[in-house]
Structure 1
C-alpha cells in the first residue's frame, strides 16, 4: 500500500517529495491507531522536517506529543511509588517493555512511546506478598471466573492484571517472560543477570536483553495490535545501542535461552520493512536457527502483514487471514495441544452465548445470581 511506504519513509526521515493532503489524513489516522504518532513526530523533528509539515498535521503531532509527555510523567510517578512499596519484598524488581523504555536514561525508544499498562518482573516466591501489598494500596484484580483464575495461577507467567481503584493505573506483575505451560519459559536467572540501574535507581534489562525480550514478546504473540510500533521499538534499541559488545551479548543470550529463532525473525522483519542494517556475522550466527523454507514463507506472510503500519479501516482479506493464522500459531506455541483445544472450545462457547444472549450472560455476578 502506498501509505505504508510513506509512513516508513517518514519514520526513517527519507521523504523524497511533497505528500498530498489526503495522504496526510490517512497517515495521521494510521499512526494514531498504531500508537506511533508522537514517535514519528519526534523523529521528524530530529530530522528537521517538523516545520515543513501541513499545519493540521503539526497540530496532531503536538497533541500526540503532549499525551506522550503526560504518560511519561505518570510512569515516573507510579515507578517511584512501586519501587518504595515492593523493593523490600523481592530480590529482583524490574520494569519491563514500555515503562522500561520511559525509565531508561536518554533512551530513544522511550521518546513518544505510549502504552496501556506498567509491566513488572519479580521473583516468583515473592508474588503472594507483593500481591497483598499492592491490594492494601489500592490495586485490585478484576473479578475472574474459576477457569481464568486457574489460567493465571497455574499456567501463566503473571498474576491477574491489577488496576488501581482511583488512578486507573493498570499493572501486570510477571515472574517470567513466557507462560510456564509453553515449556519455553526461560531460566529467568539468565535474564536477571543482564540488568542495569538508571540514574533514579530503577532496574531495567540491559539494551541487549531488552531487545531480546521485545523480540520474544512480538514473535510469539497470538495477537498483534500495534505491530509497527513494536517493530520500531526494536529498530530504535538497535539504532542507539548497537556495537560489537551489544551484538555479542544479544546473540549469546538468545542462543543460551533458546530464543535464537525469535531473534532471527525480529531482525529479518526489521531488515525487510525498515531496512535496518544488521552485521553479516550476526545473521550467520543465527542462520542454523532459521525455520525451513515452507515455515519461513508462512511466517513471512503473517508478519509482513502484521508488522506493516496498518489500520482496521484499510484491512484486506490478506490481513484477516494473517490475523487468523497468527492466532492459531500463538496459541499453539503457548499451550499444550489438549489445553489449546479446551481453551479454544471455551472461547467459542462464550462467543456463541454472547452473540445469542448478550455479554451480560457471561458476567460472573449474573451467573451467580442465576444459580440462586
Structure 2
C-alpha cells in the first residue's frame, strides 16, 4: 500500500465509497501523516462516511479553522511590530492563502508564520520583532552562523508569550542554491490583501511553492505542498507563469510541478523517469502513515543538501551536524 489511496480520495472523493474499516484507518493515518486531514475533510463533504469517521473529519476542519485564525492573528501582530519602521508584511505560504481566502486554504494546517522582507532591512526587522516580544530559537552558534551566512531566512524566532514561531525570509531559496529567484521582483509585485498585509502575485505564489518543493527540500510532506500547487494553478495564466518562472530561473521545476500535479491530483500527464522517481518519493507511505522506501527517502534527503550548497561545503556541513548528533529521520 502507498499514499496513492490518499491522493485518489483527494482527486475523486467518490472513491472512498466502499472502503472497509482497514481502508478508512489507512486513509486517515496517511492524511494525518501528510498534514492533509483537514483538506481531506473538506473534500469529503457530501460523501457518505462511516459514523466513526465523521467526528474525526469534523475535528480536523475545526482544527484547521483554528490554525487559520491563529495564523492571521500572528500576521497582524507582525504587521503591528513592523509598521513603525515602514516595513509592509508580505505573507508567504499557508498564512497568505488563509488571509486572502484562496482555495488552497481549505483545511490547510498552518505552522510557522513566514514573511518576506528586503535583505537590507533584515536586521531592522529582527530588532522590531524582538522589541515586540519575539526571541531567537536557535542557541547553537554554528546553526546561527549557518542561517545568517548561507540561508534565505533569519534563524527562527518564537514569541515569548504566544509560543508562535516566525520565519523572516529575505529570499525564497538558500543563497548557495543553484537557482536564484528574483526576490526583489517578488516584493515589488506583491499584492495587497488588507490593512498592511501583502502576498506574492499569483505567478510568484506558484513559483515559491514549486521552489520550496522541488528546488530545495527533501519532499517530506510533499503531497501537501503539491496540493497547494494544484490549487494555485487553477487560476493561473500559463503564459504569464512561464515568463515569471523563467525570470526566477526555475522554469524546468515549474513544468515538472505542473506534470506531477496533473498526474497525481488532476486528469493525468506523461511523466519522465525523473518525474516517476519524485512521484515514488511523494507516495512513500504505508497504511500506518509511516514512511517507506527508506533508501529513496534518504537519497532525497542527501539531494536536498546537495541542491543547497557546493560539495565541499556540503561535506563540511553534514560532518558538523553528524558530530553534533543530528541524524536524518
TM-score, normalization by structure 1 = 0.81
Task: Tell me the residue number matched to 1:341.
Answer: 315
Match 1:85 to one of 67, 71, 81:
81
Distance 2:268 2:93 in 1: 23
Q: Give the structure 1 partner of residue 49 of structure 2.
A: 53
2: CA distance, partners of 1:43 / 1:122: 35
Corresponding residue number in structure 1 for 2:294: 320
Question: Which structure carries more helix by proportion?
Answer: 1
Give 3-state SS (helix, strand or coil) of 1:119's partner.
strand
Q: CA contact under 8 A between 1:270 and 1:276: conserved in structure 2?
A: no
Q: Does 1:38 align with 2:29?
A: no
Q: 2:276 corresponds to which residue? A: 300
Q: Which of the pair has the greater relative contact order for Cα pairs under 8 Å at 6+ separation?
A: 2
**Which stretches in structure 2 are left out of the alignment for 5+ residues?**
none
| Equivalences for residues 198-209 of structure 1 within 5 A | 198-209=193-204
TM-score scaled by structure 2? Answer: 0.91
Aligned equivalent of 1:233? 228
Cα distance in structure 2, aligned partners of 1:212 and 1:335: 20
Structure exhibiting the larger radius of gyration computed from Cα positions: 1
Any residues of structure 2 matched to 1:107-122 within 5 Å, and which? 107-122=102-117
> Counterpart of 1:23?
23
Contact 2:285 2:291 in 1 (8 A): no
> Any unmatched runs of 5+ in structure 1?
284-289, 291-295, 355-372
- Tell me the CA shift for residue 15 of structure 1: 2.4
Following superposition, the deviation at residue 210 of structure 1 comes to 0.5
- Give the alignment partner of residue 75 of structure 1, picking from 59, 71, 74: 71
Distance in 2 of aligned mates of 1:255 and 1:25 = 43
**CA deviation string 1:109-155 (max 9, x = no partner):** 01111122010000111111111111112111124222212111111
The answer as to 2:325 corresponding to 1:351 is: yes
For residues 287 and 119 of structure 2, what CA distance do their matches in structure 1 show? 38
Task: Describe the SS at the equivalent of 2:44.
Answer: helix
- Deviation for aligned residue 1:314: 5.6
* Structure 2 residue corresponding to 1:164, chosen from 151, 159, 176: 159
Q: Report the equivalent of 2:9.
A: 10
| TM-fit CA distance, 1:308 | 2.5
Report the CA distance shift for 1:228/1:311 in structure 2 as closer, same or farther (over 3 A). Answer: farther
Q: Does 1:259 find its partner at 2:250? A: yes
Contact 2:113 2:165 in 1 (8 A): yes
Task: Output the aligned Cα RMSD.
Answer: 2.3
